[in-house]
Structures are given as structure tokens and as C-alpha cells.
Amino acid sequence: MADRFRCIVVDDEPLARSTLAKLVGEDPELELVAQCANGVAAVDSVRSHAPDIVVLDVQMPGLDGFGVVEALKDAAQPPLYVFATAYDRFALKAFDVHAVDYLLKPFDDERFR
């Protein structure tokens, strides 16, 4: 499929990252181009892969999800952000930075789709 959305998954927890990558891989409209375990790697990966969508956790060591968004705010073509986190308290802030969705862990496959 030629017109798939390029996607990067960012989560410091290996199991969560693996689950998100699996869900992305199962969606025929998405193409997984990278996985990152922290915010610094996510910024580098977004700059090198130019994804359409970044699915990222909020709380990560070093640079958190909001720090990733801030670091990339001046990108020529910023990606769409979907936050995936266990904390509902960050939802309003996520939408303040123009997130397109907010997945509250644990979520099921249908909610991801």
C-alpha cells in the first residue's frame, strides 16, 4: 500500500512499546518506521524519518512526551501526536499541544484502531 501513514512508537517500557508496535503493524493504513525508548531518541528519529504520526508516552526519563512535542514544534512538517499513557491527568495538556488522540492505558485493540 503506497499511501500508508508513517508512524513512530515511543515508550520507555519495553512491553508497552512492543504492544504499540504490534498494533501499528497490524493496521494496514500505518507503517512502523521506528521505535524509541526515550524522548531524546524520539526527537532524533522524528527528524530523520519524518513520520506522519508519533504515538508516545507522557512520562519517560530525561525528555518526556511533552518535551518531545516542544523540541519539534518548529519542524517544517510536524507529525500528529497520539499520547498513550496510564495517567488521565495529562489529557488536557495533551490536547493543549494539539494531540489528535489520548489513549489511556490499558486500552484494547479496538480503542487503538
Task: Give all domains of the chain, ordered by start, each with its CATH number.
Answer: 5-112 (3.40.50.2300)
pLDDT per residue of the chain (113 residues) written in tens, 0 to 9: 458 999 999 999 999 999 999 999 999 999 999 999 999 999 999 999 999 999 999 999 889 999 999 999 998 889 999 999 999 999 999 999 999 999 999 898 899 98
Is-contact 33 58, C-beta < 8 A?
no
Residues 38, 12: Cα–Cα separation, whole Å: 6
Q: Is the pTM of this model over 0.85?
A: yes
Residue with grid cell 523540541, as numbered in its chain: 71
- In the three-class reduction of DSSP (H, G, I as helix; E, B as strand; rest coil), residue 61 is classed as coil
